[in-house]
Structure 1
Amino acid sequence: MIHAPPLPPADELARGVRSGHRATLARAITLIESRKPAHRAIAEQLLQEILPDTGKGARVGITGVPGVGKSTTIDALGTYLLEQGHRVAVLAVDPSSSRTGGSILGDKTRMARLSMDRRAFVRPSPAAGTLGGVAARTRETLLLCEAAGYDVVLVETVGVGQSETAVADMTDTFLVLMLPGAGDELQGIKKGIIEIADIVAINKADGANLPRAKAAAAEYRAALHVLGAREPHWSTPVLTYSGLTGAGIDELWAQVLLHGERGRAAGAFAAKRSAQQVKWMWTLFDDRLRERIRGDASLRADVPAIERAVAEGTLAPTLGASKIAARLGL
């Protein structure tokens, strides 16, 4: 039987991460993704060690409707940022892979330039059965990437369900990508996604699509005007660009920088990051409670019966929650 080599202590891992050693960074990320108690203890020490080296980068969340070209956009944006002297990390939140076992960044050929450039680091986040677990580990990975010297971290989400909120809660600027043909998409898009968007960008604004992209942008601007500004210091802009040709990518990044500058000037940037830290702590706490239920034999035996009674309507959900809490001594 082949045994894995013992893990180095947290301070040694932290030194390797700070030095920008890619293999150490990858190993550190694998460590924080582990559910083994011994690994978790080292992971917690590691995160505490590198904490002073985090927080200096730009954190950008990116989502979009299916087929919008998220990977092409990230490849173009990331390449542009590398040319500007940045170091770029790309992370992915994939809640769907708990069913399929896949990852939205599994096919790195869609990011051919970034995946081949040593200044960039591309890492899919594996699923863990719950969105909260994925989001928590993605945020920890984000901190490790910042400590390793990546000053821009792009966090991609598949664009369905709660994942947008999870990513918005761990990034500074949340970018929503759309396709030309806004009339149809405005009917289908969730109002909540537009409400949390800091920037809306219409992709594929090239060739014959350009007039449709401009028309789509006008419709989204009108929709956002009706919703009103979410923050007193920022009105969500609607841009057009082409991930294929790169046209408009510079303006897209300029708006990300402007959003950060205005947030800092208004005092909202620091407040947002502080709130995200606290929310992350409670997300992790909720995960620990669920793990406690899964790991306790007596709890595992009782919970299915409680769930069944709630599903059948013979037990009120509030009382069911109280019963589980009582089993935990709460």
Structure 2
Amino acid sequence: MNWINSIVRPKIRDLLTKREVPENLWIKCPETGEMVFHRDLEANLWVVPSSGHHMRIPAKKRLEIFFDDGHYERIETPDVQADPLKFRDTKRYTDRLKENRSKTNEKDAVYVASGRVNGADMTAAVQDFAFMGGSLGMAAGEAILTGMTRAVDNKTPFVLFAASGGARMQEGILSLMQMPRTTVGVQMLREAGLPYIVVLTNPTTGGVSASYAMLGDVHIAEPGAQIGFAGRRVIEQTIREKLPEGFQSAEYLLEHGMVDMVVTRHQLKDTIARICGILMKREVQVPDVSEELQAAAPEPETEAASEAADAVGETADGEPAKS
């Protein structure tokens, strides 16, 4: 009886019981349909190895791979009024905030941090698309301004990783006001002579692409990122024309001069560090080379050298040589 209870019945129970497998162990590539094991994808910086498709990367992980050895200091951002307009659609805005804060363990959609990138001090801000689509609200605007101010105080470059669906409609005009406010922050960086690098990730749309995301000194895009203001269908219905293939992709914008370069995620850190190193040395004085040029200039001909040159130009009879 003990043998039946301890061995036979558990085996029968295992055969009849369906094992639950987590759904996120295998991730499907949107381009090829290939299934990739999640650990392999994470080890490759969320880039599908076979197709090179850049998947959306968690905001905190982006900070870890950007700063040296994954070490950085989070910068606290000011608190703002949670629901200034008492907005409600299918549910209250305050309830949506609670859901997203519980999901991401963060106050809002923008994280700001400082650290070292290839040995150089740098300040960075990352928009988290998982928090209400990375939408720009008062808290996000305050976070970006805080990061820019910290960069000016510490005299470091400021790098922004943009990922957003646009302004946050639940905050109305207060959300739209963050566009000119962040533009003032960009001007602060310019006046301080500090580089402002924008990395456009998938997607960067709406009011974000119409303001601080397109005001950088250098615009870098990840491969395949969707970048634009309005959606494709909205534009086609407005102009009543079919848009070209690949419209609003990073490669299309590079071809038409809207972004400066398209860089893979593996090369992004080194590229940003190299650009910031060049821009931070813009005010280095060029050495005066006038004295060196004078020292290298040929000396004037002596009288003997002049006579030798004249002799070469004559024949043995003293007649001028014919050319």
TM-score by length of 1: 0.28
Query: Based on CA coordinates, which of the two structures has the bigger radius of gyration?
Result: 2
TM-score by length of 2: 0.29
